[in-house]
């Protein structure tokens, strides 16, 4: 039996999962870590806490695997890593210690700096070189902020990396400072056509290129483990991808035009567009989907900042729902949202609006409004934001999305899936394994080590759980979307000053 371990370092916790060559989950472990909110719009992580959570999940995972093996730890063919992408970690390569708290992708402290750069005329170059937009979402301006205001100073041992780089540093005992093109392509510092760090972008943001990780293909040997976790020494880390690209691969979207959406803290729609990098498309990002060492495959991406986190917020403030499952039950208790619209712009709006100054709102309240209506409107907002993204994607790519494959925590919500199919007027397919982010990382690592002989063989492990078809009530879906767009316009460019 071939065994692959995937480490999925997400925004609120770390998952580790062991799968066999059929893609079946053999063992699973999860540990949350703290979210630090020092002020409005500021979101930070402690890099050591991320590592401690990772090590703890590997302890638990290995204990589960030994239990399956009558006390013997089975051999691990490879490790795959996937991670929250735009979060910036800084550390000293000599001491191995973080130099500041990590700035999380949700953090918007650099919004004014992004506006300044755009006003200075830098957006066209940013779009052309990086495929991204000037948004505080991405790593580059966060790294610049840490260097200017966060007490991080350039020196020969400075490391500025994404979470995958930090984890490989720790797993290898400080021997490896590496990343892959999917993570590099989210930094504002990477040229997606040249396939390397961009000197001009590094200069623009005053980030020393010497502080950035070595970029290697997504499939291949990155490092071997030291004796830092329960896995022990010598296990190859052989596959790395940012969480959304890993999910695209894990969903088997290996053909041009195939698309997926991951409903996690936020939601991220990606479409495979092949090996030719397109010109920038308004409202969308161009990103590297993966690179097997023979050049990149590209994807169009729409990034939605708050979906699952909106449900989490709701359960914290709404009487009658203590968790996501109860929120769905509450939402199902009413036939519609009775004109209530929730715009979950808690950290601004991502694609296709790219407005960091937007703020959340609940509109359409009356004396007849109940918690059930607000719960249903919150779930609807997840599907409505996805429709906005897919419409921009279809227009830009010149092709409709024939089917949307979905994953992530909220994919188990049948009401959401039904609303989503109606809003897209296309089938929504949910796999048996909804943790396809981790599965995709495992597939990439397994490809490098011969567990699967080809991407097609790896994709064959994808198995359908349920396919949600549109109900046929197109007029009702369009009315709801029109009301959503009316409410959304009122949240843009919010300024409490």
**Which residues are paired to 304 by β-bridges?**
267
**What pTM value is reported for the model?**
0.89
SS3 41: coil
Q: Report how far residue 238's alpha carbon sits from residue 449's, in angstroms, rounded to the nearest whole number.
A: 7
Q: Extract the tokens encoding 141.
A: 């301006």
pLDDT one-digit tens code per residue, 360-370:
999 999 999 99
CB 165 within 8 A of CB 177: yes
pLDDT one-digit tens code per residue, 178-227:
999 999 999 999 999 999 999 999 999 999 999 999 999 999 999 999 99
Q: CA angle at residue 235 from 20 to 251, to 5 degrees?
A: 40
Q: Which domains does the chain have, with CATH numbers?
A: 4-251 (3.30.420.40)
SS3 52: helix
Query: What are the Cα distances from residue 432, in Å, to 157, 313, 369?
Result: 45, 27, 36
- Reported as a pLDDT band with limits 50, 70 and 90, residue 303 is confident
pLDDT given at position 320: 61
Omega cis (within 30) before 352: yes
Query: What are the Cα distances from residue 324, in Å, to 32, 236, 375, 376?
Result: 17, 37, 10, 12
- Reported as a pLDDT band with limits 50, 70 and 90, residue 349 is very high
What DSSP state is assigned to residue 411? G
- Reported as a pLDDT band with limits 50, 70 and 90, residue 278 is confident
């Amino acid at each position: 039996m071939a065994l692959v371990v995937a480490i999925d370092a997400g925004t609120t916790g770390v998952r580790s999962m062991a799968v066999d060559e059929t893609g079946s989950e053999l063992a699973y472990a999860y540990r949350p870590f703290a979210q630090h909110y020092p002020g409005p719009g500021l979101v930070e992580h402690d890099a050591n806490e991320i590592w401690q959570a990772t090590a703890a999940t590997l302890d638990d995972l290995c204990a589960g695997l030994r239990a399956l093996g009558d006390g013997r730890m089975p051999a691990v063919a490879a490790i795959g890593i996937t991670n929250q992408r735009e979060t910036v970690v800084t550390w000293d390569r000599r001491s191995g210690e973080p130099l500041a708290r990590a700035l999380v992708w949700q953090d918007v402290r650099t919004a004014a700096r992004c506006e300044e750069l755009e006003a200075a005329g830098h957006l066209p170059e940013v779009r052309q070189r990086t495929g991204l937009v000037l948004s505080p979402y991405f790593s580059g301006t966060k790294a610049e902020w840490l260097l200017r205001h966060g007490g991080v100073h350039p020196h020969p041992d400075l490391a500025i990396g994404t979470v995958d780089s930090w984890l490989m540093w720790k797993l290898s005992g400080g021997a490896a400072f590496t990343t892959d093109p999917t993570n590099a392509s989210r930094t504002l510092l990477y040229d997606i056509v040249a396939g390397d760090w961009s000197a001009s972008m590094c200069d623009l943001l005053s980030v020393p290129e010497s502080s950035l990780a070595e970029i290697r293909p997504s499939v291949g040997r990155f490092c071997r483990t030291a004796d830092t976790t329960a896995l022990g020494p010598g296990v190859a880390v052989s596959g790395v991808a940012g969480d959304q690209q890993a999910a695209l691969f894990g969903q088997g979207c290996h053909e041009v035009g195939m698309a997926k959406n991951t409903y996690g803290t936020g939601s991220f729609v990606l479409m495979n567009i092949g090996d030719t990098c397109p010109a920038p498309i308004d409202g969308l990002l161009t990103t590297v989907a993966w690179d097997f060492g023979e050049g990149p495959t590209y994807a169009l991406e729409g990034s939605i900042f708050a979906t699952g986190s909106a449900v989490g917020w709701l359960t914290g403030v709404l009487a009658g729902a203590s968790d996501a499952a109860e929120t769905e039950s509450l939402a199902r208790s009413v036939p519609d949202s009775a004109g209530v619209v929730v715009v979950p712009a808690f950290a601004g709006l991502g694609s296709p609006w790219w407005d960091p100054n937007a703020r959340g709102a609940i509109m359409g309240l009356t004396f007849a409004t109940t918690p059930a209506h607000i719960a249903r409107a919150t779930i609807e907002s997840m599907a409505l934001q996805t429709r906005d993204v897919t419409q921009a994607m279809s227009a830009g790519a010149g092709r409709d999305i024939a089917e949307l494959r979905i994953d992530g925590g909220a994919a188990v919500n049948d009401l959401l899936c039904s609303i989503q199919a109606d809003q897209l007027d296309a089938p929504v397919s949910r796999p048996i394994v909804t943790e396809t982010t981790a599965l995709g990382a495992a597939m990439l690592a397994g490809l490098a080590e011969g567990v699967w002989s080809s991407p097609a063989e790896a994709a064959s492990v994808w198995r359908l759980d349920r396919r949600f078809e549109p109900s046929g009530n197109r007029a009702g879906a369009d009315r709801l979307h029109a009301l959503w767009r009316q409410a959304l316009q009122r949240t843009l460019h919010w300024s409490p000053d």
